[in-house]
Structure 1
Amino acid sequence: MDYSTKNIKKFVYSHYFYGGVRQALGALVPAMVLLGLFDLPVLGLAATFGAMCVSIVDQPGPVRHRKNEMLGCAVLGAATAGITALATPYAWGLWFTVIGLCFFLSLLSVFGRKGGLIGFACMLLMTLTMHSTFTPAQALLHTLVTIAGGLWYTGFSLVVTRLQWYRQEQQAIAACIFASAEYLEVKARFYDPDTKLDDNYQQLIVRQAAVAEQQEAARDVVLRELPRAASEGMDARRGRMFKMFIDIVDLHETVVAVHTDYELLRRVFAGSDLLVFFHDLLHKLALDTEAVGLAITQDQITHRHINVKAELRAIEYEIDQLKKADFPKLEPEAYTALIWTFRRARNAAKILDRLHRDTDPASDGEASSLKMDASLRRFLSKQDFSPARITSNLKLSSPNFRHALRVTLAVAIGMTLSSEWLIPHHIMHSYWIVLTIVVIMKPGFSLSKQRNIHRLTGTLIGCGLVLALLSFVDNTFILFAAMMLAAVMGNSLVQLYYLASATFNTTFVLLAFHFIAPGSLSVIGERALDTLVGSIIALGCSYFLPYWEYRLIKPTVQRAIAANRNYLSASQQLVATGIAQPADDFEYRLARKNVHIAFGNFANSFYRMMLEPRSKQRSVAELNNLVIQNHELAAQIGAAAPLLATLPAMPAPLAGVTRRIEGILDDAVKGTPDTRDDTEVLRELARELDGAVSEAETAGSVDGDTVNTLRQLVFQLKQMVKTSLSIRRSAAFARLPA
């Protein structure tokens, strides 16, 4: 991790830290009230367990979704705790109850990430309940207190959200801006001749997937809270957040379109200052974008302190020198790529100026008439918790079903070991083995393996920290402050840096046990031992009925290619529109959103496969090419879109070539190669495109600006043909199960 002052500031003002504070306070208040004021430690822990269960699913997102998820988790968690508590007097009954609950709750991963979080939270509550023995009356009381704790946290979180809604929207927008700034920084390195193109492409793909994820999250938060009708009125700040979101999406799309033939530019302009100027220009734009994000998180008005005029004028001067040297005729493709890249970078600087203005409250009111209509709803994600999704996955071919079986087997082994072998040594804390298994095991092999290493390492570090802390610190206030800090940081870092999160969580748990039972350090060793045992069991069971990523990746490849195909079709609807009004390019924006999401899913699936054993990786070279090629094609379509919008009509040869590209992509989705040689197809289509430009140049009715636009569009279409042929070839050679 980068511990610079700037990044620490980004973290402190981020939704990660904000959410960590909210989760820690909401979960610990019931225990502090019931224990500190009423001396009811048992009920205090039960209420805190219920609140902690719900806090796990309290992730950034639309308020309506969060409310449904937290209420559902509170009810299901209390039911889980009640069933577990009733079974505790019976050893075999508890064994079968826990096994059955683990299978059902693990199967909730069929509902996606949020379903998996609800299942994990309930299993965590089950584990924390199983270590005590309850009578029926105690089990009922425990269940009621648990659901009370869950409902307390739900109400607490919703009240905080209502009071701080503007802050949360700012954080969502800022996260989106930071992701785009990181993408821009990687983009700048393409103009550094010392940077390897292939390595930089890999980093660019990762950043693009992160941008798509953050844009989707921000879109859900910002759009879903718009008023249902214009007559309802809207807070001017909400309109400003909407404008910021639109501008950052446009900025990212413009930066993506800066993509060009970097090998060509490096070869033609080797040793030229142009590459240095472009690198510095994009680097400064990245820094300025990040500055806007920081200002938004701190609710400050920002003004442009990073000036790019020098780089823009230097590039303009170099272009003028090239014109005088008759460079456009000597290297027409390189010159077209240069001009197009410069114009898009200049447009990015203009959009960044708009973002700076958006931070000023004086810009409020321009979007005050916004409302949530049927068209905007199509941009939003939807919740689907239909029971049919569970029943349809009750088969061995389902990855979620296999995951549930793996978790069930691991927990069964863990309970057997802890009850038969380890119970004489630490009867009170043997449930930590099951807890470790539940925390570590995830549907994907690579994520489970990574979690295993981080959990074990973090636990050992946390045990060492607590041992040192208890050995040298006697002040109760300092120890309590350390426990609270650990609780906040453990929640804050769980998505950013899991190893550190595991360290802080271990520190929090051990310090909490110190306050409950002071003077005993044996619990530290027991924690380390149980984590080691649980990690070994989890790792071993990860190889039971695994569903390797290569079996899941083909549909994501097909969806990514199909999304690009639809993106190209939508871009052709922009002809003669000028993209002047949002309504004019609604379908285009929707297609652009879908292509980024589909690409992000494909890229993430590919990188998960690369973390799995080498023997379980398939068609690595072809899939790596497809990841890069799909990103290139999306960038080329984005670059062509504004050119299409300025054309009065689509020339017939160009329309014919776009239909050919769509056909090539349709073949790629099916995985069927063409019988003709790709080089021959490329030459044929290039001749058609060049002919269209020549015809426009000789026609007296076509003005010079339109001819220049056609030249740039033809360059982009040639790149699209080349990329789409490469996609079809890679898709045909990829050997993946259906």
Structure 2
Amino acid sequence: MVSSLPQIQRFFYSHYFFGGLRQGVGVLLPALLLAGILHMYAVGIIASIGAACVAIIDQPGGPRSYGRNGMLAAILVGSLTALVTGFASAHSALLWLVVPLLSFFFSMFTVFGKQGGLLGFACLLIMTLTMRVPLAPHEVLMHTAYSFAGGVFYFCYALLAHRVLWHREEQQALSAALFATADYMRARSQFYDVHSDLDKNYRALTHAQANMTEKHQGARDTVLRELPRGHGKADLLRTRALNVFIDMVALLDTLVATHVDYATLRRSLPDSDLLVFGRDALRKLARDLDRLALNIVRGRHVTERSSVKAELRAIEYELDQCRRKGMDEDSPEVYALLVQVFRRLRNAARLVQRIGDHISDRSDATLVDRLLDKSLNRFLTRRKWRFGMLTSNLRLDSPHFRYATRVAAGTLAAMTLSVLFSLTLTHEGMAPELSAHSYWIILTIIIVLKPGYALTRQRNGWRLAGTLIGCALALLLFNVTHDPAIYLAILVVACILGYGLVQINYMMAAIFNTLFVLLVFHFLSPTTNLVIGERLVDTVLGCGIALLCSYILPWWEYNFMGSLALALRRANQEFLGSGLEYAALTRAQAAPGAGVDADLDTRLREAELRWRIARKNVHIAFGNFTAAFYRMMDEPARRQRNVPELNHLLIQNHVLASQITSAIPILANLPSVPEGVQKSLDAVVAFLDGKYASPPASIEIEGELATLAYPLRQMVKASQLIDQEMRGLPQADPAKA
């Protein structure tokens, strides 16, 4: 069954494995070519180090110019780092000054976001690997030249790979997003199971939604970076990918458009088959999405699909029975909610069917949403780098400054410990080679030490476990066989899997990376296995230092929660405001006697685009808030602040965004807005502005207005609770961190 697809199958068809394969090949090629053909082993290793630093920046998604500029920056700044570190490596005192300063400087690059953090890490990596052995001045220049050449090689290789394999990248990004959407549908289906725990279901749903938002953003940045311009084969493929993406986003909106009061629904319909049919329909649709995601990434046409016609007809029959029993008069809001659930399941089934049509051999090159034809680039993620962002964070209350200080302190402690360890071993008459690779301690620190305490502690455990297992596997391998061909094959596989798993399973990535490095050292020094024990000792020391340094000027997650809550509330404000503007313009266009107004049409299209962009921003803000909240829950209990308030804010913001998505289309189709409805909307706006409001005790529920009553009341309640919780949420005081 597709619903039981093993995660390993997803991985091998995913962009994670594909990216790891691309990066691994690009990193290994310089070493294999130079060592295998010209027998220049040391030069090959240095060139591969330069290529590895550029490969770190080579991530999927975003406009092509961002990727190119990032890799060029890695080449230039990385080469400069190698030059500075190389000259300092021959002078111990200078090295003690340069390494902590560079560690601080490059750790500050986190102010530029994810790509800035990757660039900083790449430079720290090349700094650490350059300081391994002292270099003479002429060796420094050659070392830098080889590293630069390796970076340039990978840059050219990556540009060629992206140009040739662009469609494969789009397929994998869409597949990952569809798999995440299917997981979200399964999490949502649990609410219709009367025997499941609602609190547990909500936690699973918020996790699934945050993951789905991240995957959708990745697909958005990949699919929208190059739009179709003509009618060639490449443009046909791009249009099909765009159609899949547009309908996938529409499916997301359909799924999250209504936040159902499942507790009330269970009380009102404890033994109704309606809930069973709704659960089964969602699970069938999720299985169909899994199958479609797998077919997309395999490049195959759809050959088998599920059907939810039986479930939809059963739900329609049950609704008719409820109407015959008078539910539409006795409980009009509950009945209207059930009708909405039925309609949204039907819409979801239609969208899943259309996604399947897009990847069939019958699909054409017509964009399904003409409104977005000239405006898709507005949905791309934009990044701006300004030097002022760096200088403005050089203060004690900046989390980036504190993180950079921790990294610098960690590298300084590692260098001190390395010297003491070397002196002790020499004094005891033991082999000084045991400390010859002590740079590994610093490498472990810059890998493990992260801005957040919870992530640092988590990575410590994964890194230790991965290194231990990797060392054991290497020792086993060296004692089982001595065939260099087998070593080389395992080295290539370990490199690819190390790159591919780093974003989804850090412990497995640590296993393969450890195995890869030990095999590299074995090729360079095949006469001893002492390096295995050294790797393990250095890793333990590095993890210990990283954990201790995580308590230096710590910046706990609760310090971020206030700003993230404000950002989420502002996103919901913008979402509601743009939605109300869109609904008002739609009513104006449909008003009797309005006629044809080109200016009104233009304003309406612009308003709809702003509403869609605001909806995307809400999903991103909600994902950021959710991720930070659960990271805080992994921190020590004494560092968790305002947990009930933040949990309520998470739930109520989710409710508010869902009901806005549900209410705006209904408001747009009304001939006019009744007084009670308008007063309720005004109250929601006021609560989100932090002002006092007095919502009406009752609103109009006649006819089609019954479908608006439930979401509107939920919006009023949610916005009021958000206002209350925000008033009781103290702003973070960095001085108390």
Give TM class, smaller chain. Answer: over 0.9
Residue 711 (structure 2) aligns with: 716
2:260 counterpart letter in structure 1: T
In the alignment, does 2:647 pair up with 1:647?
no
* Contact in 2 for aligned 1:303/1:356 (Cα 8 Å): no
1:554 Cα deviation after fit: 0.8
In structure 2, C-alpha distance between the alignment counterparts of 1:369 and 1:441, rounded to whole Å: 45
1:249 counterpart letter in structure 2: V
Cα 1:552/1:369, change in 2 over 3 Å: closer
1:686 Cα deviation after fit: 4.0
Matched residue SS, 1:290: helix
Residue 408 (structure 2) aligns with: 408
Residue 592 (structure 2) aligns with: none
Residue 703 (structure 1) aligns with: none
In structure 2, C-alpha distance between the alignment counterparts of 1:21 and 1:246, rounded to whole Å: 29
Residue 727 (structure 2) aligns with: 732
Q: Deviations over 1:601-632 (max 9, x none)?
A: 11112112112111111100110111111111
Q: Deviations over 1:25-81 (max 9, x none)?
A: 100110111111111111111100000111111111232211111110111111111
In structure 2, C-alpha distance between the alignment counterparts of 1:241 and 1:263, rounded to whole Å: 39
In the alignment, does 2:479 pair up with 1:434?
no
Q: Deviations over 1:567-616 (max 9, x none)?
A: 12222234374999976621210111111111111111211211211111
In structure 2, C-alpha distance between the alignment counterparts of 1:38 and 1:140, rounded to whole Å: 21
In structure 2, C-alpha distance between the alignment counterparts of 1:627 and 1:344, rounded to whole Å: 24
Cα 1:304/1:639, change in 2 over 3 Å: farther
2:688 to 640, 655, 665: 665
Matched residue SS, 2:395: coil
In structure 2, C-alpha distance between the alignment counterparts of 1:278 and 1:574, rounded to whole Å: 31
1:522 counterpart letter in structure 2: L
Residue 467 (structure 1) aligns with: 475
In structure 2, C-alpha distance between the alignment counterparts of 1:3 and 1:142, rounded to whole Å: 52
* Contact in 1 for aligned 2:679/2:696 (Cα 8 Å): no
Residue 685 (structure 1) aligns with: 696
1:735 counterpart letter in structure 2: P
Matched residue SS, 1:573: helix
Map 1:336-375 → 2, pairs under 5 A:
336-367=336-367, 375=375
In the alignment, does 2:667 pair up with 1:617?
no
Q: Deviations over 1:483-527 (max 9, x none)?
A: 111111111000000011001100111112122211312111111
In structure 1, C-alpha distance between the alignment counterparts of 2:607 and 2:411, rounded to whole Å: 56
Matched residue SS, 1:385: coil
In structure 2, C-alpha distance between the alignment counterparts of 1:474 and 1:370, rounded to whole Å: 63
Residue 274 (structure 2) aligns with: 274
* Contact in 1 for aligned 2:562/2:729 (Cα 8 Å): no
1:258 Cα deviation after fit: 4.1
1:356 Cα deviation after fit: 0.7
In structure 2, C-alpha distance between the alignment counterparts of 1:565 and 1:84, rounded to whole Å: 50
Residue 649 (structure 2) aligns with: 626
1:535 Cα deviation after fit: 0.5
Matched residue SS, 1:282: helix
1:593 counterpart letter in structure 2: K
1:368 Cα deviation after fit: 10
In the alignment, does 2:418 pair up with 1:418?
yes
Matched residue SS, 2:28: helix
In structure 2, C-alpha distance between the alignment counterparts of 1:587 and 1:128, rounded to whole Å: 48
1:244 counterpart letter in structure 2: V
1:405 Cα deviation after fit: 0.6
Residue 197 (structure 2) aligns with: 196
Cα 1:5/1:242, change in 2 over 3 Å: closer
1:732 Cα deviation after fit: 2.1
2:490 to 477, 482, 485: 482
In structure 1, C-alpha distance between the alignment counterparts of 2:353 and 2:244, rounded to whole Å: 11
1:360 Cα deviation after fit: 2.1
* Contact in 2 for aligned 1:430/1:530 (Cα 8 Å): yes
* Contact in 1 for aligned 2:47/2:149 (Cα 8 Å): yes
1:600 counterpart letter in structure 2: G
Residue 96 (structure 2) aligns with: 95
* Contact in 1 for aligned 2:333/2:709 (Cα 8 Å): no
* Contact in 2 for aligned 1:234/1:368 (Cα 8 Å): no
Cα 1:566/1:3, change in 2 over 3 Å: closer
1:167 counterpart letter in structure 2: R
1:537 to 537, 545, 570: 545
1:373 Cα deviation after fit: 8.2
Residue 701 (structure 1) aligns with: none
Which deviates further from its counterpart, 558-567 or 152-161? 558-567
Cα 1:585/1:3, change in 2 over 3 Å: closer
Q: Deviations over 1:630-672 (max 9, x none)?
A: 11111111111222232233333322211111111111xxxx7
In the alignment, does 2:621 pair up with 1:598?
yes
Residue 85 (structure 1) aligns with: 86
* Contact in 2 for aligned 1:127/1:431 (Cα 8 Å): yes
Residue 292 (structure 1) aligns with: 292
In structure 1, C-alpha distance between the alignment counterparts of 2:303 and 2:607, rounded to whole Å: 31
Map 1:3-42 → 2, pairs under 5 A:
5-42=5-42
Matched residue SS, 1:548: coil
* Contact in 1 for aligned 2:259/2:658 (Cα 8 Å): yes
1:479 Cα deviation after fit: 2.2
| TM-score for the superposition, normalised by structure 2 | 0.92
* Contact in 2 for aligned 1:82/1:143 (Cα 8 Å): yes
In structure 2, C-alpha distance between the alignment counterparts of 1:380 and 1:34, rounded to whole Å: 40
In structure 1, C-alpha distance between the alignment counterparts of 2:506 and 2:569, rounded to whole Å: 33
Cα 1:583/1:231, change in 2 over 3 Å: farther
Residue 179 (structure 1) aligns with: 180
* Contact in 1 for aligned 2:296/2:359 (Cα 8 Å): yes
1:637 to 660, 663, 666: 660
Residue 114 (structure 2) aligns with: 113
Query: What value does the CA root-mean-square deviation take over the aligned residues?
Result: 2.3
Matched residue SS, 1:429: coil
In structure 1, C-alpha distance between the alignment counterparts of 2:400 and 2:389, rounded to whole Å: 11
Cα 1:253/1:506, change in 2 over 3 Å: same
In structure 2, C-alpha distance between the alignment counterparts of 1:276 and 1:372, rounded to whole Å: 37
Residue 578 (structure 2) aligns with: 570
1:419 Cα deviation after fit: 2.2
| Seq. identity, % | 43
Cα 1:686/1:297, change in 2 over 3 Å: farther
* Contact in 2 for aligned 1:239/1:370 (Cα 8 Å): no
* Contact in 2 for aligned 1:226/1:370 (Cα 8 Å): no
In structure 1, C-alpha distance between the alignment counterparts of 2:660 and 2:85, rounded to whole Å: 56
1:425 Cα deviation after fit: 4.6
In structure 2, C-alpha distance between the alignment counterparts of 1:248 and 1:503, rounded to whole Å: 36
* Contact in 2 for aligned 1:686/1:718 (Cα 8 Å): no
Q: State how many pairs are aligned.
A: 708
Residue 130 (structure 1) aligns with: 131
Map 1:515-526 → 2, pairs under 5 A:
515-526=523-534
Q: Deviations over 1:657-715 (max 9, x none)?
A: 11111111111xxxx7x5x8xxxx5xx5241x1xx33xxx5xxxxxxxxx22x110122
1:65 counterpart letter in structure 2: Y
